[in-house]
Amino acid sequence: MREKHIIVAVSAGIAAYKAIEVVSRLRKKGAEVKVVMTENATHIASPLTFGEISGHPVAIDMFEQVHQWDVEHIALATWADTYVVVPATANVIGKIYAGIADDMLTTTIMATKAPKYLCPAMNTEMYNNPITQRNLEGLQALGYHIMEPAEGWLACGITGVGRLPEPEAIVEWLESQMCKSNELEGTTVLVTAGGTQENIDPVRYIGNRSSGKMGYAIAEQAARMGANVILVSAPTSLAVPSGVDFVPVDSALSMQHAVESRYDTVDVVVMAAAVSDFRVLHKAEQKIKKMESMTLELVKNPDILQGLGAKKKHQILVGFAAETEHVIEYGQDKVARKNLDMLVANDVSKSNAGFNVDTNEGYFLYPNKDPKEMPNMKKSELAHNIMKEVVELVKNK
Ligand code: C5P
């Protein structure tokens, strides 16, 4: 989003107020935002607020020169590299599809060459109306990106489809659409995620603090780059990223089976899962009753990644290492021992890195290149950096 020029165009849906938070979130991500409103939208949400939040005058009237430019709508249309309509009403959608340009919104969207994104929001009947559906299909065929409206309670007092999704979801959707590339088209990437669970009895298990966030962010990023993604995941509370082939597992042995049975057909493996090093030797068939003390005998689990490294052919192997000291030294040893192409090594003793937080930092280590330091950043951003490295590794294979 950094340094992107985004026009947020607001039409007169009752959810127009949500666009204020969309503008704010986009700016926090580093984008420059200018707002265009329809005259009707100004009766629902205040242009003053949009002006304050965006840091720019709001364009509404075709004949008022807010930016002192000669031809305001053309200047705005040229400035934009992304154009998003939040909310897009049935009326505005219809006008855009019909080629009507009779106000600032419809004129600028017609005049811009920027990719266009629409977030429809309206009453369920209006949304389901074949005219609206025809218009949306037509716009999609013309290359417009359309976000599915959410289902839920609508301002008209009924529950149904047509709700404007929450600002956070809109920005996430926009980001994922804007960041799409084909750098990994034709490449199959298998990602493991989450913390494995080793059963003790039918209700108890040995687990770890992994949330799965890093692995899920990597799977999502790989899919954005056009890869075929297989996500082998231990149980997590996360939503499965769209467009990935999801393989749920629980224990280390089930993860090993899921990964190894697919190994020959994949090009890249990213082992982001926290795999339990041990499992219980004798699992109880029935729930173990309370007792004063008990001893569990544990046996070593296979090191899945090391096994993959030993039989590596064409694959690129990326591992993770959670350390609490000597991060580079221990990591470099792992690169060699597990025959990896890259290792993401991080210090989990820090409170803002590693398990169960949204940020991470560390080093990228390689068998024959100097380490690269990664400062603290969001896991989604780190996932982007990891997959950029993978693109290079695939290219240089
Ligand atoms: O040796 P260590 O457990 O620190 O290595 C971590 C890396 O190895 C991670 O990529 C993890 O997914 C993988 N691993 C594995 N099987 C294990 C333990 C770790 O594949 N039993």
Nearest to 45 by CA among 24, 83, 19: 19
Question: Cα–Cα distance between 71 and 53 in angstroms, integer?
Answer: 24
Pick the CATH number of 5-178 from 3.40.50.1950, 3.40.250.10, 3.40.50.2000, 3.30.43.10: 3.40.50.1950
Tell whether residue 334 is among the known ligand binding residues: yes
Question: Cα–Cα distance between 98 and 92 in angstroms, integer?
Answer: 10
Question: Cα–Cα distance between 362 and 385 in angstroms, integer?
Answer: 12
**Nearest ligand 1 atom, CA 277:** 21
**Helix ranges, 235-311 (H):** 252-260, 304-310
| Backbone torsions φ then ψ of 44, nearest 5 degrees | -100, -45
Distance between Cα 278 and ligand 1 center (Å): 12
Does the fold of domain 188-396 match that of domain 5-178?
yes
Distance between Cα 227 and ligand 1 center (Å): 24
| Tokens, residue 139 | 């716009």
Question: Cα–Cα distance between 146 and 102 in angstroms, integer?
Answer: 22
Residues 6 or more apart whose CB falls under 8 angstroms from that of 63 comprise: none
Q: What are the pLDDT tens digits along the chain (397 aa)?
A: 888 999 999 999 999 999 999 999 999 999 999 999 999 999 999 999 999 999 999 999 887 765 555 567 788 999 999 999 999 999 999 999 999 999 999 999 999 999 999 999 999 999 999 999 999 999 999 999 999 999 988 887 878 899 999 999 999 899 888 888 899 999 999 999 999 999 999 999 999 999 999 999 999 999 999 999 999 999 999 989 888 999 999 999 999 999 999 999 999 999 999 999 999 999 999 999 999 999 999 999 999 999 999 999 999 999 999 888 999 999 999 999 999 999 999 988 887 777 777 888 899 999 999 999 999 888 888 999 999 999 999 999 8
Question: Which of 270, 301, 316, 320 is the pocket-test mutation for ligand 1 (most atoms within 8 Å of CB)?
Answer: 320
Residues 6 or more apart whose CB falls under 8 angstroms from that of 234 comprise: 192, 193, 194, 195, 196, 197, 210, 212, 249, 250, 255, 273, 274
R_g of the chain, CA atoms, integer Å: 25
Beta strand pairing call for 245-248 and 228-233? parallel
Pocket, ligand 1, Cβ cutoff 6 A: 252, 271, 273, 275, 277, 301, 303-305, 319-321, 334
**Nearest ligand 1 atom, CA 307:** 20
DSSP secondary structure letters along 279-301: EESS--SSPPPP-S-----EEEP
pLDDT at residue 350, rounded to an integer: 80
pTM (2 d.p.)? 0.76
pLDDT at residue 377, rounded to an integer: 86
Question: Cα–Cα distance between 241 and 220 in angstroms, integer?
Answer: 6
DSSP secondary structure letters along 80-100: -SEEEEEEE-HHHHHHHHHT-
Tell whether residue 395 is among the known ligand binding residues: no
| DSSP 8-state class, residue 202 | S
The H or E element spanning position 361 is strand 359-365
Question: Cα–Cα distance between 78 and 5 in angstroms, integer?
Answer: 10
Taking only the tens place, the pLDDT of each residue in 104-136 is: 999 999 999 999 999 999 999 999 999 999 999
What angle separates helix 90-98 from helix 130-141, to the nearest 10 degrees? 50
179 among known catalytic residues:
no
Positive or negative torsion for Cα 173, 30, 1, 389: negative
Long-range contacts at 288-294 (CB < 8 A, ≥ 24 apart)? 288/200, 288/201, 288/204
Tell whether residue 136 is among the known ligand binding residues: no
Distance between Cα 228 and ligand 1 center (Å): 23
Counting Cα atoms < 13 Å in the Cβ hemisphere of 386 gives 37
Query: Of all residues in the chain, what percent are helix, strand and coil, respectively (each to 5)?
Result: 35, 25, 40
Tell whether residue 388 is among the known ligand binding residues: no
| Tokens, residue 249 | 């597992």
Nearest CA to ligand 1 atom 5: 321
CATH of domain 188-396: 3.40.50.10300
Task: Give me the residue spans of the domains in the chain.
Answer: 5-178, 188-396
Strand partners, 343: 319, 365
The H or E element spanning position 104 is helix 104-111
Question: Cα–Cα distance between 289 and 292 in angstroms, integer?
Answer: 10
